A and B are shown apart, each in its own frame.
Chain A
Amino acid sequence: MNPIVELITKLGDDAFILGHRHSEWTGLGPILEEDIAMSSMAQDKIGHALALYTILHEQFGGPDPDTIGFLRNEKEFRCCHLVEYPNGEYDFTLVRHFLFDHAELLRYQLLRQSTFAPLARFAAKVMGELKYHVLHADSLMQRLALGNEESHARLQASLTEAFPLAAGIFEKSPYEDQLIAEGVFAGEALLQQQWLKEIEQRVQAWDLHLPEAREPLAGLGGRYGYHTPYLQPLLDELTSVFRSEENASW
């Protein structure tokens, strides 16, 4: 695979699958205001996937975005495990959103310098939205971490569960060295380092703690097409209408 195609595919797949998970809250959120916020972020994320798949289509002769999003097999997806996990209760959704979006904001900050111009342009555009995703995550995390005993305990439990999985966000691509050498992307290792600093600082201020690193392979495999058992059922649902009639337009 072309290294840039691989990079854009994983970025698009993360956004697509997490956007889909966020959209599962639409109409069922814990407060109307949160319901609305989560739906906004769902649209943003799915919109990012669409934009990235469009780059694949236009710059690399890939299929149209709907075909990329709705007709690939599970094995062809490159999303990380963290985004595949079911929403669980709102604490897990929120902690995942917090961990993921901090990485996403930093990632696109790095990608603004990308030598691959379409990606650099997209990065500049998407930063304006991601800023608000991070703002939302931080403000609600803070309020709930400092809210009451139950909300604090819930966030800690979800952080303990989600933090090891977040390592999968930074799983190195098979083309990592080439991407760095060509200035396309500064690399997962640097990104993870920057991210950890941001996360640690906040978590500490909110009286939460990061779990000790346990299973070193937790959360890994997604970038190579090895997924959690949650992805296939998600894709079955996501594509059920689209696949129900061949060559139809909806």
Chain B
Amino acid sequence: MYGGGYVFCEPDVHGQPDDPERLAEFEARIDRGEKIEPQDWMPYEYRRQLIRLIEQHAHSEIMGALPEGAWITRAPGFKRKLALIAKVQDEVGHAQLLYSAAETLGKSRADMVNDLLSGKSKYSNVFNYPAKTWADVTVIGFLIDAAAIVNQVANSKGSYGPYCRALERICYEESFHLKQGYDAFVALATGTKRQREMLQDAINRWYRPIIHFFGPPDNESVHSKQLMRWKVKMASNDEMRNQFLDAYVPKVLELGLTFPDPELRKDPQTGRWHYGDPDWAEFYRVINGDGPCNAERLSARRLAEENGRWIRQAIMNPQQKFTIPFA
């Protein structure tokens, strides 16, 4: 998981203007489909927006570990327990990969983590909703991972080399999560009456955050034109949302489950999905810190950071030298 619904920053009017010749050369490289590498020249704004994007993605992975991670100790049976630990572990591994990719642009992991904890950096809204039952874990594992894959596959074709390479591996692992998520989802959908009710309830609660996942509609997204030109943003929010609905709504309906949106339907003429008003004001409230679990998630992360500080300090001890290899 878990890209999606990125919020890019306002263009920095105080930034240094870029050398027009180098900018033209840079844009020509992107047009030719070349990848930009850390040592290459890049526009100020490109670097800034990429740091923001990759950092948000990394934060989403580490924060995304929390709602599902809380169910590891309760996962029913060996198969689900092992799969869930492996999955959440993968997410933490993705955070590690992504922080490293962002570091190539000049911001340290510690600075990124501090900005997360202070609330300056954002992460995906979906993780600010509660995972109330085991069924929520299956909905996250199936539908939210599926949504994240749509987003990440698009991003993996972007222009920044380190990010693309991290995403290739991430997408590979995500597609496995999706299989596990779907398997657990189907087990409930085809299970007892109570299991089905539990699943339907989870879908009802997660529907809106999933619609929000890809971010506001295109007509509300600001300044994405230049970012698309530079292949930082690879597909429009509405395009990705439509692609997701097209692939996954039928899979849910065919299990006899429903979505809590009477307006949800595909227009046979245009092939576009129509959905009821998902209350975008809620999206902005949550991204700005006022969601059902923002405070809880951040305090869990903060506690983990604080509890781990003594270890980080001890292993950074520059006096320590180990010459004998451990392995």
Interface residues of A (CB under 8 A from B): 20, 23-24, 26-36, 39-40, 42-43, 46-47, 49-50, 65-66, 69-70, 89-90, 135, 138-139, 142-144, 146-148, 150-151, 154, 237-238, 240-242, 245, 247-250
Within 8 A of A (CB), among B198-214: none
Within 8 A of A (CB), among B229-255: none
Q: A29-B308, A46-B82, A248-B195 are in contact. Are A36 and B93 (CB under 8 A)?
A: yes
Contact of B308 (CB < 8 Å), options: A66, A90, A238, A241: A90
Q: Which of A147, A237, A249, A250 has the most CB of B within 10 A?
A: A250
Assess whether B78 is in contact with A238, with CB atoms less than 8 Å apart: no
Interface residues of B (CB under 8 A from A): 62, 65-66, 69, 72-78, 80-82, 85-86, 88-89, 91-93, 95-96, 99, 134, 184, 187-188, 191-192, 194-195, 300, 303-304, 307-315, 317, 320, 322, 326-327
Q: Bound state CA distance, A70 and B73, in angstroms?
A: 12
Closest beta carbon of chain A to B196's beta carbon, Å: 11
Residue of A nearest to B133 (CB): A241
Residues of chain B with a CB closer than 8 A to A242's CB: 76-77
Q: Bound state CA distance, A150 and B99, in angstroms?
A: 28
Cross-chain pairs A/B with CB under 8 angstroms, 27 sampled:
A26-B88, A27-B65, A27-B69, A31-B308, A31-B312, A32-B95, A32-B99, A34-B308, A36-B92, A36-B93, A43-B85, A46-B82, A46-B85, A66-B77, A69-B77, A90-B307, A147-B317, A148-B313, A151-B314, A237-B73, A238-B74, A245-B191, A247-B192, A248-B192, A250-B77, A250-B188, A250-B191
Assess whether B304 is in contact with A28, with CB atoms less than 8 Å apart: yes
Q: Bound state CA distance, A139 and B76, in angstroms?
A: 34
Residue of B nearest to A236 (CB): B74
Closest beta carbon of chain A to B192's beta carbon, Å: 5
Closest beta carbon of chain A to B2's beta carbon, Å: 13
